[in-house]
Every structure is written in C-alpha cells, then in structure tokens.
Structure 1
Amino acid sequence: MSAEAMDTVFKALADPTRRLLLDRLREQNGQTLRQVCEHLDMARQSATQHLDVLVRANLVTVVRRGRERLHYLNPGPIHEIEQRWISEFDKPRLRALSAIKNQAEEYAMNVPDYVYVTYIRASAEQVWKALTDADLTARYWGHENVSDWQPGSRWEHRRADGSGVADVVGEVLESDPPTRLVITFEDSPGQTREPSVVTFLVEPHEEIVRLTVTHEKLPDQEMLNGISSGWPAVLANLKSLLETGDVLPQAPWEMRAAHA
C-alpha cells in the first residue's frame, strides 16, 4: 500500500462516526444503505458521505445485487496495516487473546460473509483465465482448478503434485465470462453441512480490473479465520503473476505458517 493510500485509510478511521459504520458492518455484513442508517442519529445523506469516504479508502466495498447496493467490509487495508505493524512484533500473544474472544463471541452472533477487493493491472479476460485455467491456478495457488465452468458442472481444486487429490470440490452455480463466477466451496469433500459459496466479480476499467471475492454461508468462526488469511495470500500471488509474469518469490501462505 502506498503512503498516500495509507494516509487515506487512517484519515477515514480517525472519525468516530465512520468507525461506528464499520462496526455496524462487522456485526452484519452486506447491508443496504437503509439498513446501515437504521438506529443511527444522522440523516441518510450524512451517512452516505461517510460511507463514500470509507469506499474511497477501500475499507468498504459496494456490491450490486439486482437493484440493491450492498455494503461490505473490505479487510484488505486492515490486513496490510496488521502485516506492517503487528505481525512481526506481538502476534502470538494477540492471536491467543483473539482466539479466546472469538470463541466467546461465536455463540452470540452469526458468522459474517467475507469480502476482499483487489485491483489488478490486467484485462477482464486475463483475470477470468487466471481463475479458471488449471495450469495458471497451479502456478499461483498450488492447485489446479478443473472444470468446464458451465452452470451445474462440478469443479475440483486438485493438488498440483500429480496425485489427483482434490482438497476442495463444488458446483458451478453461475458462469458469465469474463465478469462473474459463482461456485460452491466444500473444503471437506463429502461433508453433510451446506457448502459455502464463493463469488468472483471482475469489473474492468480502462487498463485495470477490480476483482471482488465474496465468500458467503460460512459455517463457523474457524473457517472465517482461515479464509481471512488464505484469500489475501492467494490473490496477492494471482496479482503478481498477471502484473509481472511471475508469482511472488515465496508462497505467501507459507509466511503465515512461519510466523505461527
């Protein structure tokens, strides 16, 4: 994150009203403007202005669902702050405290949806191919995403070691190349619970693309914690591959294991 972008994030967080809006989205992610404004002692116009600041800081992202505009927390900037100022210093103790807190809170609230936004210097077609081509996913993800990517078809997230083992399987729910892909996500093949759902939204703008990944219907806090570190690592590797022609020098998810 550039210094200018970091300044924008901290300025956005400096306002107590904007922090309150973020808390509301943390409690229930994916709210309409009307829902966000409920029980707030401010006019809708004022709330809209504050939300616009959060969107410009990339702390909130807006996803269209039909006629509705749903507001989601984007953990990307907070993740970068955490990596820069926290992870190298006191992360083990903070993780232990967070685990205790999360376990207590898990019984008191539903697990929120996860949304991550990144911007990539590439075309929509290039991003789509990176998401669906088995050879490319093997390079930046360590797994081959295998399917014909037609609605109703099965997809598999196979290890790229030649074993043919699929660590994740699912069904293609929607496929609209090169802008929208919706899949179910079963990280324990054969599981009996309802699978979670992942949506990839590819929005081109001139020479860049905004890629929004939404992971919904998460079963528990443990899975939320896992994907909250997993998706940023995978997408950082994808971004590097498309922008530089090569993946990061080390697999980013290994950094998490090294600092555990």
Structure 2
Amino acid sequence: MDSVFKALADPTRRLLLDRLREHNGQTLRELCERLAMTRQSATQHLDLLEQANLVTVVRRGRERLHYLNPAPIHEIEERWISEFDKPRLQALSAIRNQAEEYAMADAPTSVPTYVYVTYIRASAEQVWQALTDADLTARYWGHANVSDWQPGSSWEHRRVDGSGAVDVVGRVLEAEPPTRLVITFEDAPDAERPREPSVVTFLVEPHHDIVRLTVTHENLANQAMFNGISQGWPAVLANLKSLLETGEVLPQAPWEMYRAHG
C-alpha cells in the first residue's frame, strides 16, 4: 500500500489517472498531448504508477497502451470502506451519478476497456491449467469452462449445479500455452446478436516464482456490462489466486459480497 499512497499523493499522477479514467488505453503520445507534458516527465510519472500497480501497460504491436488497473483501489475500498460506511457512501454516489447523468444526457458515450492485473505465486503452466481445466474452473468460478482450447474451437461456461445450463459461450481466437489466451465472450448466448461479441485476453507473464496475470476485456456492449464485469473479474481472480497459492478457494464465494452489500 505504501507505493500506492505515494503514487496518489502527487497531483500530476492523479491527473494522469483522471485522463485514463476518461479515456482508457492511451499511448504515451496521446497522454502527453492531452496534458501538455514532456515525454520524459510523463514517462517518469507513469513508471511510478505502474510500479504501484495503478496503471498497467498492454502491448499492441509497436504501441504501448496504458490502462487503469482497479486492483489496488479495490483493496483500499475493501480494507477501509466496505466494513464501515459503505451504505451512506453509496447513497451519496447515487445522487452524484444521477446529477452527472442529467448533465451528460445529450453527450455521446463510449464503454471503456476493462483491464485487471494480479500477481500469483505459481508457475505459468499452473495458471494456464487453472484457466483452461474444466474441473479447476468449476472450483474457483462456480462454472466449468469447457473446450479443447484450440484456435477456432468453441467454449462454454457451464453451471455446476446439475442443471448443465450454459451462461456464456464464445470461440477461441488465440491460444499460446502457457502465456496467452484470447476468447470471445457472449453472456447472452440465446439472444440475437446485433453486434460483435466482447473479447477477453488472458496474458500470463512468469517472473521467477510468480506470475503476473493481466485480464483485458474489450468491445463491451454497454456501461451495464462494464459495471458487471468490474465486480465479477476481481472476485473470480481472487478465488483463482487463493486456489493456486493455498490449495483452497476463499471460504465464501467472493462475488456474493456485492449482492450482500449492494
């Protein structure tokens, strides 16, 4: 937490985070243009934000795209806010959001890409198996992810309550074991599809005894979907991390916290 608070203490770095919140996934050049800042200065600030895990960099060809990473802020919220004054803060936030909705009613909206980064004490092979093994996904996700995980193959997100119901379907776009998996993600498989499905990328980067797992979810249908996965991915990945590091999932399903405290 020390590096997070140190990074947030600087107004320039907070401004960089604000600009990424407004438009996630910017290059260094785009950030410099919006802030009238030299590349050297912006790079120094972004390096500190990346070290604090507040910003993550996703490479797309020769470009480096900068995304907000909500994990540290989520941890602060869980440690100091959730258990104390969350209902009152949610009420205030709802009032503010409603006012902003009225103010922005006529403005065009775009749904940002969601990026989440976590560090796991495991090998890349273990993380890959946790992402692709149906039995393991059933343990930490409550659904079995079923596929042969070959490019072009379909995959299904099946309930494990005995119903056999499928809540998400998609196709495998890329599979490079054990470091990269790209899939389409359709959470309304029976509905008509007037648009392209969203896309999830799992990037597994090993470093000695740990792995950095970056999950990127893009081409989201609307803000409601963004809000839903912003709650879902941290919970699912926390359970995955617990399973790999301790051999056990968390004592309670973490996604149920949002329902209980909503």
The TM-score with structure 2 as length reference comes to: 0.93
Does residue 161 (structure 1) correspond to residue 156 (structure 2)? The answer is: no
Paired position in structure 2 for 1:259: 261
Partner SS, residue 225 of structure 1: helix
Shift, 1:190, TM fit:
2.7
Does residue 77 (structure 1) correspond to residue 79 (structure 2)? The answer is: no
Amino acid of the structure 2 residue aligned with 1:144: A
CA distance in 2, matches of 1:222, 1:168: 16
Deviates more, 1:221-230 or 1:127-136: 221-230
Instruction: Give a deviation string over 1:169-224, Cα, whole Å, max 9, x none.
Output: 11111111110001111111133132111000000011110000001011111111
Match of 1:207 among 198, 206, 209: 209
Paired position in structure 2 for 1:181: 181
CA distance in 2, matches of 1:199, 1:248: 24
Partner SS, residue 122 of structure 2: coil
Paired position in structure 1 for 2:53: 58
Paired position in structure 1 for 2:244: 242
Paired position in structure 2 for 1:113: 113
Partner SS, residue 172 of structure 1: strand
CA distance in 2, matches of 1:88, 1:216: 31
Does residue 18 (structure 1) correspond to residue 18 (structure 2)? The answer is: no
Deviates more, 1:87-96 or 1:164-173: 87-96
CA distance in 2, matches of 1:92, 1:115: 27
Deviates more, 1:215-224 or 1:128-137: 215-224
Shift, 1:244, TM fit:
0.6
The Cα RMSD (Å) is 1.5
Partner SS, residue 35 of structure 2: coil
Paired position in structure 2 for 1:45: 40
Partner SS, residue 30 of structure 1: coil
Amino acid of the structure 2 residue aligned with 1:240: S
The TM-score with structure 1 as length reference comes to: 0.94
Partner SS, residue 112 of structure 1: coil
| Structure 2 alignment gaps of length 5 or more | none
Percentage of pairs with the same residue: 81
Shift, 1:151, TM fit:
1.0
CA distance in 1, matches of 2:47, 2:138: 37
| Structure 1 alignment gaps of length 5 or more | 1-5
Deviates more, 1:103-112 or 1:145-154: 103-112
Alignment of 1:130-145 (within 5 A): 130-145=130-145
Instruction: Give a deviation string over 1:205-250, Cα, whole Å, max 9, x none.
Output: 1111000000101111111111111101100000010011111111
Shift, 1:93, TM fit:
3.7
